[in-house]
Every structure is written in structure tokens, then in C-alpha cells.
Amino acid sequence: MADNNSSINIASNNRNDSLKNVDTQYEFEKTVIGNNNNVVYKENQNIVQYKGFKKDVFFLAQISPYVIRKIGKKNVKIVGLVSFISGLITIYLWVSSFNYYDSSLVHNFVSAHLTLITYCGIILFAISFLCVGIKSYHSNTTCKNCNKEFAYEELENPDVKDVKTADGYMRTIKRHYTCQFCGFKETISFREKIKDGRNSFIK
């Protein structure tokens, strides 16, 4: 009778061990880097939920209202597009300066002012990306209830959920915004596929 009980216990232990090993190749490690004050592991550690970090938008929050007020919403897009195209032209001129068989007037001018052309291209690209950021910030912070511009504030840390996959993990970020004028609340979700299997958690 004792032999039967021991065999039953061994079979039960083997079954438990097999259950523990299900999907272990997709588990998260126990070490969490970042804002780990509330970390929850679920389903054999395939899913990890935690609080992320609020976006650092101090620079855009300061400059965006000023730029929008000075040149207008439509002109921000135009300035960004023109700056980007101009930046591409400067790159073309910079590349063409290495064509030693070209003796045209434009080639000679660019070759003589190569440093100036390079700095102009960098500045133009910087302006174009800045305009894209301003336009995006303006759109994302306009209240859908009262239509006030630059109204949303992220008052709490976002909720983050990482689902482990074979080649990395799928991250879902839920950011919570509150209108500082009417109190309207909105949650905006973002999803991204991260192929790197390391836990490089959100900042």
C-alpha cells in the first residue's frame, strides 16, 4: 500500500513539474529595471504589468504655444516641409562637392563653402523635426471635450503591459491625460513590438 502511495506522489510531482515548465522559454526575468514599485507577473510570467514613466515634454510644452501663436498652426507644417526639402537639397550639394570632375560654378561655390553648407543642412533638418514635434504635441494635447489647445496634462504614470513572445515582447502603453480647463479625462494607448528580448523597460 505504501508503494502505491509513493507512486501516486511521484506521478503527482511529475505532473506539477511539467505544469511549471509550460512556456518557460517565454518567461520574463524577475529583475525589473525602472519604476518597479508595482510589478505584477501573470500566466507563468509571460505577462508583466507595471507603472512606466511620464513623458518628458518640458521643452515642447514651453516652445510649442509660442511658435503656434507667432506663425500659426498651418504655417508650422509648411515651415517643417520647406525646411526638410531644403535640407535634402543641401545634402545633394554636399555630396556633389566630392565630384572632382565637375567644374561648374555651383560646384566651385559649394566646395569653397562646404562647412557652411553642412551646418545649414543640419540646422534645416533640426527645424523640420522640431516642427513635426510641435505639430504632434499640439494635436495630442488639444482637449476633445472643450477644444482648448495645450490642455492635456499627464498627471499619473502610465500603465505598461509587456507580453513575452518568441522573438521579444509586445508592449502596450496606456497614458492618462486630464484637461486642465474642463477636467476631461482621456486614456491613449500605444502598442509597439520590441524584438530585443531584454527587459529594457519604458522611460
Per-residue pLDDT of the chain (203 residues; tens, 9 = 90+): 545 444 444 444 444 443 333 344 444 454 444 455 555 555 456 888 899 999 889 999 999 999 999 999 899 999 999 999 999 988 887 777 666 555 566 566 666 667 777 888 899 999 999 999 999 999 999 999 999 999 999 989 999 998 888 788 889 999 999 999 999 999 999 898 888 645 444 44
Report how far apart, in Å, the C-alpha atoms of 117 and of each of 88, 99, 131 are. 11, 16, 21
Residue with cell 508650422: 76
In whole angstroms, give the CA distance from residue 98 to residue 136: 37
Same domain, 161 and 174: yes
Which of 140, 167, 188 is the last residue in one of the domains? 140
Domain count across the chain: 2
Determine, yes or no, domain membership for 145.
no
C-alpha distances out from residue 192 to 108, 132, 174, 195, Å: 47, 20, 12, 10
Report yes or no on 103 lying in a domain.
Answer: yes
22 domain-assigned: no
Domain co-membership, 117 together with 134? yes
Containing domain of residue 100, as a range? 60-140
Q: Which residue has the cell 504655417?
A: 75
**Position 25 in a domain:** no
Residue 179 near residue 143, CB atoms below 8 Å: yes
Using an 8 Å Cβ cutoff, are 163 and 170 in contact?
yes
Q: Is residue 17 situated within a structural domain?
A: no
Cβ-contact 92, 86 below 8 angstroms? no
Whether 30 maps to a domain, the answer reads: no
Q: What is the pTM of this model?
A: 0.65
Q: Is residue 115 part of a domain?
A: yes
